[in-house]
Chains A and B, each alone.
Chain A
Amino acid sequence: GENVEQHPSTLSVQEGDSAVIKCTYSDSASNYFPWYKQELGKGPQLIIDIRSNVGEKKDQRIAVTLNKTAKHFSLHITETQPEDSAVYFCAASPRSGYSTLTFGKGTMLLVSP
């Protein structure tokens, strides 16, 4: 089955800095890569996703890049703000419509004012 590795497990940055979280996946059939943000006391929420036919996707201060050859994808947050502090999860899903998401172990991002 699919295996998703996520790094780093914790990341501390100063407000205004950029943050990058990286994930690798094992199943070359995976074609859907979402990112989730989990705030304290809440469930994970989808913030951005990318499919294997696209190399990069951007939404305001967040962007995701995908390298299919190397089987890794990354989340980039620019101009970080304290409200970006949360746990971030990457996930991957194979091409089959009968598949499920496999999640990374999560990255705790702390943005200091």
Chain B
Amino acid sequence: DADVTQTPRNRITKTGKRIMLECSQTKGHDRMYWYRQDPGLGLRLIYYSFDVKDINKGEISDGYSVSRQAQAKFSLSLESAIPNQTALYFCATSDFTGNYGYTFGSGTRLTVV
């Protein structure tokens, strides 16, 4: 089984719909992150959590919210999806120092029509 599992892998949704992307990990890491990947723009940080009671906004948090349900679970929600949120979304984890590299999931490809 993958260390970091993202569901769903692919999703098409309509403008205005609420959608949740889920992430679970078996690494035992305290820190979890949500990144968005767009062609030519690299990986941009949406939200991150250093432990279960900690939630922080990243570079591009507008239009998104997150929930850290447990050490192993971190979900990303789009309250009212819009077409420019069409992107590849990655969840990642790291240990408490953050300086031993991130472990990424396989990504969720989201299309908003």
Contacts and interface: CB of A to CB of B under 8 A. Distances in A.
A89 B42 contact: yes
Contact of B43 (A31, A89, A97, A98): A89
Contacts of B97: 97
- Give the one of A9, A43, A103 with max B CB within 10 A: A43
A86 to B, nearest CB: 13
A97 B104 contact: no
Nearest to B33: A100
B42 A103 contact: yes
B99 A32 contact: yes
Interface of B: 4, 33, 35, 40-45, 48, 50, 58, 90, 92, 96-99, 101-107
B42 A101 contact: no
B45 to A, nearest CB: 6
B99 A98 contact: no
A100 B98 contact: yes
B90 A44 contact: yes
9 contacts: A6-B42, A34-B102, A44-B90, A44-B102, A46-B101, A51-B99, A97-B96, A97-B99, A104-B42
A105 B40 contact: yes
Interface string A32-43: 101010000111
B107 A43 contact: yes
A43 B40 contact: no
A52 to B, nearest CB: 11
Interface in A72-100: 89, 93, 97-100
Given A36-B104, A51-B99, A103-B35, 8 more contacts: A9-B40, A97-B98, A99-B98, A100-B33, A101-B102, A105-B40, A106-B42, A106-B43
A100 B48 contact: yes
A100 B45 contact: yes
B106 A43 contact: yes
Give the residue among A34, A101, A105, A106 with the most B Cβ atoms within 10 A. A101
Contacts of B103: 46
Contacts of B40: 9, 105
B58 A49 contact: no
